[in-house]
Amino acid sequence: MIAGALKFLIQTLGNLFVIAVLLRFMMQLFRVPFRNSFAQFIVTLTDFAVKPLRRVVPGLLGLDWACLVLAWLVELAVVTAGYWLDGFPFGLAGGRVWPVMLGLAAVKLLSLAVYLVIGLTLVRAVLSWVNSNTPLMPVVYALTEPFLHPLRRIVPMIANVDLTPLVLFILCQLVLMVPLLALERALLASL
């Protein structure tokens, strides 16, 4: 019972931190202005871990690779802690288990990124109905527009209703269900 609660706590806190680091990476990738209070919150929340890692992992091509490495390492710790709390015999498995754990952490990181896109798109849709002038809207708009804009060329507006968020939800679910789930199952089968 305590192991289950501890596993839940580690997964929740670890994944929330990974989401914050992924948001920071996406904000840099899509050139979101960091003058926004939400962007400042994300930077302040993740600076303690990203800044020291930048000394080891340099940026390349205008991307902050330290954020991705940090997110992957935290997800590796979350996955490993989960299996350890479930009683997985790491000592008996030997060294062959670590490539699988590294792969599982990468798959979980990709899944969290897809869920983040879904969540941001949902927040954008709700804010557009409720209050499109909120200070959060420019950040959410800048993070979702690179995914929605290409779909608008394919999906027409129907009676002045933009269906691209719905199409994006469906595509994200397909990505989660087909390639990521298949990859996770293949990695688990090799344990």
Contact 68, 26 (CB under 8 A): no
Range of the domain at 26: 2-189
Q: Determine what percent of the chain is predicted with pLDDT higher than 90.
A: 77
Question: Binning pLDDT at 50, 70 and 90, where does residue 125 land?
Answer: very high
Region 25-38: mean pLDDT is: 91
DSSP 133: T
* 50: confidence class by pLDDT, cuts 50, 70, 90: very high
CA dihedral 79, 81, 87, 89 (to 10 degrees): 80
Higher pLDDT pick, 135 / 26: 26
Report the 10 Å Cβ neighbour count for 61. Answer: 5
pLDDT at position 134, please?
87
Confidence of residue 135 (pLDDT cuts 50, 70, 90): confident
Per-residue confidence (pLDDT) for residue 187, from 0 to 100: 94
**Residue 190 — very low, low, confident or very high, per pLDDT cuts 50/70/90?**
confident
Provide the pLDDT confidence category of residue 133 given band limits of 50, 70 and 90: confident
Q: Which ranges of the chain does DSSP label H, i.e. alpha helix? A: 2-29, 37-54, 65-85, 90-93, 97-130, 137-152, 164-175, 181-189
User: What is the rounded average pLDDT of the residues 94-114?
Assistant: 95
Structure tokens at 148: 């929605």
Q: Tally the domains of the chain.
A: 1
